[in-house]
Amino acid sequence: MSQKYTIEDLFSVYYRPLCLLSLHYTYDTAASEDIVQECFVAMMSKTPENPKTYLYTAVRNRSLSWRQRNKPGEPLPEDIPAPEDEESTSIRDARLWTAIESLPPQRRRCLVLAKRDGLSYKEIAEELGLSENTVRNNIAKALETLRELPEVKKSFILLFF
Amino acid sequence: MDSLSFILNFFRDGIFDGRKAYLKLAGKRRTVLVPWLVAAAASLALGVFLFTEYRNSIKEYYAYDIRQEFTLPDGTQAVLFPGSSISLKPHWNPRTVNMSGTVRFTVAKDPAHPFTVTAKNAFAEVLGTVFTLCDNPPEITVEEGRVRFAAQADAEGIVLEKGESAIIKDGAPEKKPLFVFEDTPLREVLESLSGHFGVRLRCAEEGKRLSAEFKDERLEDIILLVEEALDVKIEVVK
C-alpha cells in the first residue's frame, strides 16, 4: 500500500475530496485548504501504512478541532458524512466541483453569481455587462450540463424543479 | 442541504487544486532544503579546501651566504650549500623533496618509502644513503648506498653505487668517470687506483705520464689498458 501512490498521486487524487470533506465541518474554504495541507505535510513525515486512511482520519480530526476552536458551542451540521461514507461522499463532491470548474467561464460566472451570491438575473446582467436573456440562457445551459452528471441527477431534480 | 447547492455555496475558481497545493508544498520543501544544502555544500567545500591547503602546505629551507644544515621532518639530514634551497610538503609526503643548488642528503632509512629529490634537470630516488645533488649543472655524487638518478621522475635513469658520480648530459644521466687522469704521473695514478680498490699497485717506471678516463671497468681491465698504453708492467701487491 505504501508504494501504491506517490505523494504527487495522493495530491492529485485526494486533495480536492479532502478539502470538501473538511468544508462540511468548517464552512470556510481557506481554513479547509490549510487543514488538508497540514495533514499532507504531517503524512509526508510519517509515511503511514495506508496513506488514504491516514489522510481521511487526520482531516476529520483536524477539522473537528478547528470547529471546536472557531465555532465553539455550535452544533455540528447535519450533512457531515459518516466516517464510512467519507470517501464516496467527498469524491462525489469533488466531481461536482470539477464539473462546475469545467463549465465555460461565462456560464460558470453566471451560475455562481446566481446560486452562491444570490444575485438576480438583472444584477448579474449589470455585473457582467450582458443582457438578462443571455444570463438566463447561460444559467440554463450550465444547469443542463450539470444535470447530465450521474452524481447530481437526483438531487438536481429536487433542487431545481 | 443537497450536494450541489452546498458546493455552489462555496465554489470559487482556482481553489482546492491538488496540483497547485503539491507544487506549493514541494516548493516550500525545496526552499527549506536549498539553503540547508547550500550551507552543507559550502562547509564541505571549505573543509576540502582547508584540508587540501593543509596537505599542500610547503616547508622551505634556504642557505643564503653560508652552508646550512637542516634535519627534515622524516629525519633526513640536508646540508645546503650557499645559495641552495629545498622545499617539501610535510603533510603530503615528507620524503618527496624539491631542490635547487647543491645539497648533500643523508637520507633516513625507511625501505617502505623511497626518498626522492627532484631538481630542475635532475631526479634522484633512494631508500637510505648519503649523496650530494647539484642541479646546475646537474650532478650527483653517491657516498653511501644506491641511488636511482634520472633527468626527471618518470625517466628510467641509472643506478649509482657508493663512490660513483653522474651528470645529466643531453637530457640523459651519464656516469662520470671514476678516474680522470690528464698527463698524470703514473705514481699518482697508481695511488688513486690503489686507494679505490683497496690494493697496492707497483710499477718500475712510475715517472711515465698518463691521460685516460675510467668509468666502471674492473681493476684487471684498467691495469691492462694502462700497461698497453704506456708499455709498462704493473704489479699487484696484495
A52-110 pLDDT, tens digit each: 999 999 999 999 999 999 988 888 888 899 989 999 999 989 988 988 988 888 999 99
Q: Residue B64 burial (CB < 10 Å; 0-12/13-18/19+)?
A: exposed
CA of A125 vs chain B CAs: smallest distance (Å): 19
Strands (E), B25-108: 59-62, 68-71, 77-80, 85-89, 93-100, 102-106
Q: Nearest Cβ partner of A115 from B8, B12, B25?
A: B8
Asked if residue A1 belongs to a domain, the reply is: no
- C-alpha B47/C-alpha B209 separation (Å) is 71
Asked if residue A72 belongs to a domain, the reply is: yes
Mutation to test the B interface, candidates A21, A108, A116, most B Cβ within 10 Å: A116
DSSP bridge partners of B235? B202
Q: Nearest Cβ partner of A93 from B7, B12, B22?
A: B7
A contacts of B10 (beta carbons < 8 Å): 23, 27, 29, 116
Domain boundary among A38, A54, A85: A85
Q: Are A79 and A38 in a shared domain? A: yes
- C-alpha A61/C-alpha A138 separation (Å) is 40
Q: What is the pLDDT of residue B187?
A: 87
Domain boundary among A52, A85, A118: A85
Asked if residue A33 belongs to a domain, the reply is: yes
A contacts of B19 (beta carbons < 8 Å): 11-12
Asked if residue A92 belongs to a domain, the reply is: no
Cis status, amide bond into B137, omega within 30 of 0: yes
Domain boundary among A27, A55, A85: A85
CATH topology for B59-175?
Jelly Rolls (2.60.120)
Mutation to test the A interface, candidates B16, B20, B23, B30, most A Cβ within 10 Å: B16
Instruction: Print the domain residue range for A76.
Output: 7-85
- C-alpha A81/C-alpha A160 separation (Å) is 23
Q: Are A107 and A81 in a shared domain? A: no
What's the predicted TM-score (pTM) here?
Answer: 0.47
- C-alpha B195/C-alpha B27 separation (Å) is 87
Q: Treating both helix axes as pointing N-terminal to C-terminal, what angle do A51-70 and A29-46 enclose, rounded to 10 degrees?
A: 140
Asked if residue A56 belongs to a domain, the reply is: yes
- C-alpha B132/C-alpha B106 separation (Å) is 9
Q: Are A17 and A60 in a shared domain? A: yes
CA of A65 vs chain B CAs: smallest distance (Å): 20
pLDDT one digit per residue (tens) for chain B, 238 residues: 578 888 999 999 889 988 888 888 876 555 555 567 777 888 888 888 888 777 777 888 887 767 788 889 888 999 988 888 888 888 888 888 999 888 999 888 887 788 889 888 788 888 668 888 888 788 888 888 888 888 887 777 888 887 788 888 888 888 877 778 888 888 888 888 887 777 888 888 888 888 888 876 778 888 888 888 888 888 888 6
Q: What is the DSSP string of chain A?
A: -TTTS-HHHHHHHHHHHHHHHHHHHH--HHHHHHHHHHHHHHHHHH--SSHHHHHHHHHHHHHHHHHHHHSTTPPPPTTPPPGGGHHHHHHHHHHHHHHHHTS-HHHHHHHHHHHTS---HHHHHHHHT--HHHHHHHHHHHHHHHHTSTTTHHHHHHHH-
Q: Are A26 and A79 in a shared domain? A: yes
Asked if residue A51 belongs to a domain, the reply is: yes
B contacts of A35 (beta carbons < 8 Å): none
Helix, strand, or coil here: B134? strand
- Tell me if A41 sits within 8 A of A29, measured CB to CB: no
Identify the contact set of chain A against chain B, taking CB-CB distances under 8 A: 7-8, 11-16, 19-20, 23-24, 27, 29, 32-33, 36-37, 40-41, 79, 89, 92-94, 96-97, 100-101, 108, 111-112, 115-116, 146, 151-152, 155-156, 158-159
Cell digits of residue A37: 495541507
Asked if residue A52 belongs to a domain, the reply is: yes
B contacts of A33 (beta carbons < 8 Å): 15-16, 21
Cβ separation A11–B4 shorter than 8 A: no
Taking Cα atoms as reference points, which of A96, A159, A145, A155 lies closest to residue A137? A145
- Considering its fold, how many domains does chain A have in total? 2
pLDDT tens, A116-151? 999 999 999 998 999 999 999 999 999 988 888 776
Cβ separation A93–B15 shorter than 8 A: no
CA of B24 vs chain A CAs: smallest distance (Å): 10
Q: Which residues contact B154 (CB under 8 A, 6 or more apart)?
A: none
Tell me how crowded residue B236 is: count the other CB atoms within 10 A of its CB: 14
Q: Which residues contact A20 (CB under 8 A, 6 or more apart)?
A: A32, A90, A93, A94, A97, B7, B16
Asked if residue A97 belongs to a domain, the reply is: no
Cell digits of residue B81: 650549500
Q: Nearest Cβ partner of B16 from A19, A89, A116?
A: A19
Where along chain B do its domains lie? Answer: 12-55, 59-175, 179-237
CA of A24 vs chain B CAs: smallest distance (Å): 9
Cell digits of residue B49: 579546501
Helix, strand, or coil here: B36? helix
Chain B residue at shortest CA distance from A22: B16
Q: Are A72 and A136 in a shared domain? A: no
CA of A44 vs chain B CAs: smallest distance (Å): 11
Q: What is the pLDDT of residue B11?
A: 92
Chain A residue at shortest CA distance from B13: A101
